[in-house]
Structure 1
Amino acid sequence: MSFRNSRKKVGLYGGTFDPIHTIHLIVAEQARDALEIDEIWFLPARIPPHKQTKQITADIHRVEMIARAIAGHSDFRLDTIELEREPELPSYTYDTVHILKERHPDIDFYFIIGGDMAAYLPKWHRIDELILMVQFVALARPGYVMDNPYMRHVIETEMPQLDVSSSMIRKKIAQGRSIRYLVPEAVRMYIEEKRLYEA
């Protein structure tokens, strides 16, 4: 099946990326390839609604790590739209998509989420409006069931489930253990240089 049309197609990939790791890049590339998307925009969040009580690494470091991670991919780009918000406001996907559609009326946007986040779609801020504004794409491991009323609006595509997370990487660094190959080498070197996540 081809998903091609004449309008530019951009995948939006949001998250704290604290730090960005290899699986983030694999997810982005798999979505880009499966849906024939022209570009993937990485959107680092300032205060995700589900993480408002958690400590998040400074924006400047997360942005730099993303920039280094995607530097070699011509179809990946960094967009700091969510970092332009007032510091005390959470990053709602509805607000981000609304602004991006106003700025880029000639682009069709696809919002990339994992299967775990798809399960929470009924709780997303202004989801009934959001689901009509952007095409959601959910990546899940084979056999994973995403069952809620909003899934009929979501394109589902499978990808192998690889058990790597930012929290696991932070824990390994705090324990003085290797993260080589779990993050791009440029990101690993930046983490070491800035001594991020050390205990």
Structure 2
Amino acid sequence: MKKIGIFGGTFDPPHNGHLLMANEVLHQAELDEIWFMPNKIPPHKQNEDFTDSRHRVEMLKLAISSNSGFKLELAEMDRKGPSYTYDTVRLLKERHPNDKLFFIIGADMIEYLPKWYKLDELLTLIQFIGVRRPGYHIETPYPLLFADVPEFDVSSTMLRERLKAKEPTQYLMPDKVRQYIEENDLYES
């Protein structure tokens, strides 16, 4: 039985904060793997524009390529319409019945948990790992495990803005991802 952490997100673009968080959770929770799972259409961001799925997947492949404990899971990319965690977890449990799945969420999403689709059923299928983040006081009635991650203030939104303004992004994202962005003229103004 493998212990697998599922790390969902838009990863638009993936950055070193994502990698740092995943690596810390991998070791603190003693997981075998972290599966990065890009969302096609997250329910809480249905009205936002995202970079083409093909580019986000390629950037994520590049970002995780140097860590053998990181894998890519495309279950949500293959789905049409909004991706609800409950539906995805049911699918992954069917595909991997002998593995124990953990779902990694940031402090901001812990506060949002009461609004999650079929949360009570989801809690019977998976264990959540909450990542503590500065500025968030975490209180929850839900049975979460927690991981502490060193503070690294970077976000995909900030990177898109910096890229659009032609500001430096070195040390904020993997070099391979930055090169891919430049080669494909992504996030241009």
Which of 98, 101, 108 is matched with 2:93 structurally? 101
Does structure 1 residue 168 correspond to structure 2 residue 158?
yes
User: 1:68-79 to 2 correspondence within 5 Å?
Assistant: 68-79=62-73
Distance 1:142 1:63 in 2: 29
Aligned pairs for 1:151-190 within 5 A: 153-190=143-180
Q: Point out 4+ residue stretches in structure 1 off by more than 4 angstroms.
A: none
Per the TM alignment, residue 161 of structure 1 is displaced from its structure 2 partner at its CA by 2.4
Task: Read off the aligned partner of 1:161 and give its amino acid letter.
Answer: E
Indicate the structure whose relative CO is greater, using CA pairs within 8 Å and at least 6 residues apart.
2
Residue identity opposite 1:93 in structure 2: T
**Percentage of matched positions with identical amino acids:** 50
Q: Deviations over 1:155-174 (max 9, x none)?
A: 01222222100000000011
Tell me, yes or no, if structure 1 residue 85 matches structure 2 residue 79: yes
2:14 to 11, 20, 28: 20
Normalising to structure 2: TM-score of the pair?
Answer: 0.97
- Unmatched 5+ residue regions in structure 1? 1-6
Residue-by-residue CA offset, 1:33-69 (whole Å, 9 max, x unaligned): 0011000000000000111000000010000000001
Of residues 101, 111, 122 in structure 1, which corresponds to 2:103?
111
Tell me the distance in 2 between the aligned counterparts of 1:90 and 1:147: 28
d(CA) in 1 for partners of 2:156, 2:136: 22
Provide the secondary structure at the position in 2 that maps to 1:149.
coil
What is the SS of the residue equivalent to 1:120?
helix
Gaps of 5+ in 2: none
Q: Equivalent residue for 2:59? A: 65
**Aligned counterpart, 1:122:** 114
Aligned residues: 189
The TM-score normalised by the length of structure 1 is 0.92
* CA-based RMSD: 1.1
CA distance in 1: counterparts of 2:96 and 2:127, whole angstroms: 15
